[in-house]
Chains A and B, each alone.
Chain A
Amino acid sequence: MDNMTQAWILLLAGFIVVFTVLILLIIIVTLYSKIVTSVQKAGEKKKERKKVVKIEVIEPTPTKTVPEPEENDDEIPGEIIAVIAAAVDAVYGEKTHKIKAVKKSRSSRSAWARAGVLENTKPF
């Protein structure tokens, strides 16, 4: 077989393999996207149903997760407590925590310095 014949065979083989692999990826990506989307939608629907039930239970007796602003008026303003509660909620997510108290930190390091230390000492 001369070089030219080999080159034409490679050309055809190349086209077929590249297109086959990428078309296979199209099929797989499309399929798993559909599966993931449908699973996530089903999960969201379940969550919504749970929320509705919970609201009905919670409404008559609201839980006090954040201390009343009046109690801390002389120490930390209510707006700050609201912001801290929102930040804690954003980091830890819903239902996994309960804020019992908000106290001023007596650490000598600033919040930024502590964040830096945390970032650099976090284990692999």
Chain B
Amino acid sequence: MEILQQLWKIICQLIESSGFAKLSWENYIMVAVSFCLMYLAIKKQFEPLLLLPIAFGMCLVNLFPEIMGMPTTQMLTEAEILAKGVNPASYTTTILNGETYYNYTEYGGLFYYLYMGVKLGIYPPLIFLGIGCMTDFGPLIANPKSFILGAAAQIGIFLTFIIATAIGYVAPDMGFTASQAGSIAIIGGADGPTAIFVTTKLAPELLGPIAVAAYSYMALVPIIQPPIMRALTTKKERSVVMGQLRPVSKLERILFPIIVVVVVALLLPDAAPLVGMLMLGNLFKESGVVDRINKTAQNELMNIITIFLGVTVGATATGKVFLTWQTLGIVALGLFAFCLATASGVIFGKIMYKATGGKINPLIGSAGVSAVPMAARISQKVGQEENPGNFLLMHAMGPNVAGVIGSAVAAGVLLSVLK
């Protein structure tokens, strides 16, 4: 009989500690959301390299919240620590009112430690290192005017900041603080690592929704951008065939990252970690003397950081944080920022079209919203719809990589003002 009672007790304990007893309805909804994201990543292949780890991290943290748990220290008496079945000699002691207490430490969950790379702003610059190794700044060096289009696309960030701040006046319950508004606005830069970097510094409580929104919109570039590009341009403008870019020498390519990092770090030190690592990666590539480091940074290191970044960002999307009206606001404002960035890039493209007497195709302006190389591919695709013999890809790569630098500079502005 006693054996049965013990057995029943163990079964009760197992049920009490199981997910069924602990989890709330919000967790189950988030698990369902993560399944939808996994479907989009696997079946539709929307940014699978990031969306899949994000979705799985989201699923895991909602099934087992302790995986993101912080380390804790309890002060226990000798009797209490012996009851835990551990050796008291392994713990430091604190004497309080003449009584000895043992500092019993429980370590945090796996994702808590991996998340430190996000929280301390380590992963996004390392991702930028890998991106730098893979980026060809040749089209930008050949046509430096592309920098203007990269800057124009950042207008979406600052206009969204105004809208996000204004919401607080219209609906005070849904309002965002200035720091939160800045973190939401950076989604318009269409640059995941930059969005994460800024959010961890300004509004870490919004990291989950902002990261998911940023990567979702980057994946939806082929759906969001073309209608805006067609609406803002005429058939004649879309058909413009641009002249061939001049060849860029190796020396110019080597000097470019060094010059950019000096200029940006001196003018905007807050953007230095992102731009610095981007340019370091590019210098690895262009110098041609550190082939092994270059390969490691763009393959193994980048893949490892992508896994850590993905799962831990996903793990911040717990039910209680994610299922709020604020999240809906972030999703809507993120979309607005992205559309505005595309539109401002195309409008500046039109201005350059007029200024150069029709030599520049305005479609390359939309590529100013980072999202390398997807946004450049969209410029190429929409241009070829009008003229199948038109190849805009290399011309669009100029504003595209300028957009990466531009969004990092915009991030530096937000950080220096709002931090």
Is B414 an interface position by the 8 A CB rule? yes
Is there contact, CB below 8 Å, between A13 and B406? no
Identify whether the interface residues of B are mostly helix, strand, loop, or mixed: helix
Is there contact, CB below 8 Å, between A30 and B165? no
Please encode chain B, from 156 to 172, with 1 for each CB lying within 8 Å of some chain A CB and 0 for all others: 01110110011011000
Please encode chain B, from 137 to 174, with 1 for each CB lying within 8 Å of some chain A CB and 0 for all others: 00011001101101100110111011001101100000
Q: Which residue of B lies closest to A2 (CB)?
A: B169
Is there contact, CB below 8 Å, between B158 and A24? no
Is there contact, CB below 8 Å, between A28 and B259? yes
Please encode chain A, from 69 to 84, with 1 for each CB lying within 8 Å of some chain B CB and 0 for all others: 0000000000000000
Is B74 an interface position by the 8 A CB rule? no
Is there contact, CB below 8 Å, between A11 and B159? yes
Q: Which of B60-68, B75-83, B248-256, B306-314 contacts A (4 or more CB under 8 A)?
A: B248-256
A4 to B161, CA, bound (A): 10
Is there contact, CB below 8 Å, between B165 and A3? yes
Q: Which of A14-22, A98-106, A107-115 contacts B (4 or more CB under 8 A)?
A: A14-22
Is there contact, CB below 8 Å, between B181 and A26? no
Is there contact, CB below 8 Å, between A29 and B409? no
Q: Which residue of B lies closest to A27 (CB)?
A: B144
Of B141, B150, B263, B414, the residue contacting A14 (CB under 8 A) is B414
CB distance from A9 to the nearest CB of B (A): 9
Q: Chain A residues near B414 (CB, 8 Å)? A: 10, 14
Q: Chain B residues near A13 (CB, 8 Å)? A: 413, 417
CB distance from A85 to the nearest CB of B (A): 24
Interface hits, B211-257 → A, CB 8 Å: 248-249, 251-252, 255-256
Task: Contacts A7-B178, A33-B252 given; indicate if A18 touches B263 (C-beta within 8 A).
Answer: no
CB distance from A43 to the nearest CB of B (A): 10
Q: Chain B residues near A46 (CB, 8 Å)? A: none
Is there contact, CB below 8 Å, between A18 and B417? no
A6 to B162, CA, bound (A): 9
Q: Chain B residues near A37 (CB, 8 Å)? A: 249, 252
Q: Which residue of A lies closest to B149 (CB)?
A: A22
Of B141, B147, B413, the residue contacting A23 (CB under 8 A) is B147
Q: Chain A residues near B159 (CB, 8 Å)? A: 11
CB distance from A28 to the nearest CB of B (A): 6
Q: Which residue of B lies closest to A8 (CB)?
A: B162
A15 to B154, CA, bound (A): 8
Is there contact, CB below 8 Å, between B268 and A29? no
Task: Contacts A25-B144, A29-B259 given; indicate if A14 touches B165 (C-beta within 8 A).
Answer: no
CB distance from A47 to the nearest CB of B (A): 15
Is A45 an interface position by the 8 A CB rule? no
Is A64 an interface position by the 8 A CB rule? no
Task: Contacts A22-B150, A26-B148 given; indicate if A7 touches B181 (C-beta within 8 A).
Answer: yes
Of A11, A17, A22, A36, the residue contacting B148 (CB under 8 A) is A22
Q: Chain B residues near A40 (CB, 8 Å)? A: 249, 251
Task: Contacts A36-B252, A40-B249 given; indicate if A29 touches B144 (C-beta within 8 A).
Answer: yes
A17 to B158, CA, bound (A): 12
29 CB-based A-B contacts, threshold 8 Å: A4-B166, A6-B165, A6-B178, A10-B161, A11-B158, A13-B413, A14-B410, A15-B158, A18-B406, A18-B409, A18-B410, A18-B413, A21-B263, A21-B264, A21-B268, A22-B150, A22-B405, A22-B406, A23-B147, A24-B263, A25-B147, A25-B263, A28-B259, A29-B141, A29-B259, A32-B255, A36-B249, A37-B252, A124-B292
